């Protein structure tokens, strides 16, 4: 699943490809994958694309009259840009532009979705300047839930998924199964710093590896959540715990608070 750094790069690159173009036609191939009917989606037709940005784990396309389309890739969704509006396999929805190009949202699992004017997300964006020690302290002291689950709870923090939760916790030196309300203040400060550091560095690494990417994932640079590695940069053995089909990567370098 594309996470925050991937989507940051996608948004940056989509700006180069489609910003300013007007939608001549929108097609919805899977009605159940939209929060509204095609008739309502067609309200963006003849509107110019004003802004492209990431919000949480979604890409937002904002149009000149204020309408917003949100694309959520889920696990395997992908975006395809075509200069000649070529039809892609497993298309969920497609935007066609006034210069003959198109942008398609596809998913072989059929669960990626598109929303028109979605509700505001309840969680604090992971890159928000307001996600600081005070915010984390206030949220963590209210729950004994393990800290990894808290980081991935989109109603608390928006944008962090499985892979980057592992990377952030390793960088902060906190074991993923630590009880959130047992983490000391100094470590909460480290966590606040690590969230920004890990996500911003990941975006830079993705841009270096694939500067024009608008789909897929780049993960080779990850230091802990990486099946190709056996040891962390500090030399500790990387351990893997599997729960409910989800893998957690960690090392003994991380302190367990309980």
43 and 147 housed in the same domain = no
Q: What is the pLDDT of residue 17?
A: 97
155 and 243 housed in the same domain = yes
Please name the residues in contact with 167: beta carbons below 8 A apart, sequence gap of 6 or more. 198, 202, 222, 223, 224, 225
Q: What is the pLDDT of residue 235?
A: 98
Distance between CA atoms of 151 and 155, rounded to whole angstroms?
Answer: 10
Q: How many domains does the chain have?
A: 2
Residue 146 is classified by DSSP as B
Q: What is the pLDDT of residue 97?
A: 97
Tokens of 173: 């030196």
Q: What is the pLDDT of residue 245?
A: 87
**258 in a domain, yes or no?**
no
111 and 135 housed in the same domain = no
24 and 86 housed in the same domain = yes
DSSP H helical ranges for 3-130: 4-18, 38-41
Q: What is the pLDDT of residue 175?
A: 98
pTM beyond 0.85: the answer is: yes
146 and 213 housed in the same domain = yes
**For residue 67, what are the domain limits?**
4-116
Question: Which residues, given as ranges, of the chain have pLDDT below 70?
Answer: none
Distances (CA, A) of 177 to 27, 92, 154, 184: 44, 37, 18, 15
**256 in a domain, yes or no?**
no
């Amino acid at each position: 699943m594309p996470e925050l750094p991937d989507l940051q790069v996608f948004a940056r690159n989509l700006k180069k490809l489609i910003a300013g173009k007007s939608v001549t036609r929108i097609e919805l191939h899977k009605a159940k994958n939209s929060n509204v009917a095609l008739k309502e989606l067609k309200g963006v037709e003849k509107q110019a694309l004003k802004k492209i940005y990431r919000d949480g784990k979604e890409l937002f396309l904002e149009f000149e009259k204020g309408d917003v389309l949100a694309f959520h890739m889920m696990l395997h969704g992908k975006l395809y840009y075509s200069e000649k509006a070529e039809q892609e396999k497993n298309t969920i929805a497609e935007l066609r532009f006034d210069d003959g190009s198109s942008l398609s949202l596809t998913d072989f699992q059929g669960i990626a979705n598109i929303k028109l004017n979605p509700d505001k997300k309840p969680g604090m964006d992971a890159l928000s300047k307001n996600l600081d020690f005070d915010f984390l302290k206030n949220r963590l002291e209210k729950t004994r839930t393990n800290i990894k689950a808290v980081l991935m709870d989109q109603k608390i923090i928006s944008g962090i998924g499985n892979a980057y939760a592992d990377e952030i916790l390793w960088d902060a030196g906190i074991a993923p199964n630590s009880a959130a309300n047992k983490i000391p203040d100094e470590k909460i400060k480290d966590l606040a710093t690590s969230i920004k550091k890990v996500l911003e560095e990941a975006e830079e690494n993705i841009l270096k590896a694939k500067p024009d990417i608008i789909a897929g994932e780049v993960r080779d640079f990850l230091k802990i959540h990486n099946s190709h590695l056996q040891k962390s940069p500090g030399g500790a053995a990387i351990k893997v715990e599997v729960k409910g089909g989800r893998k957690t990567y960690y090392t003994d370098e991380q302190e367990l608070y309980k």
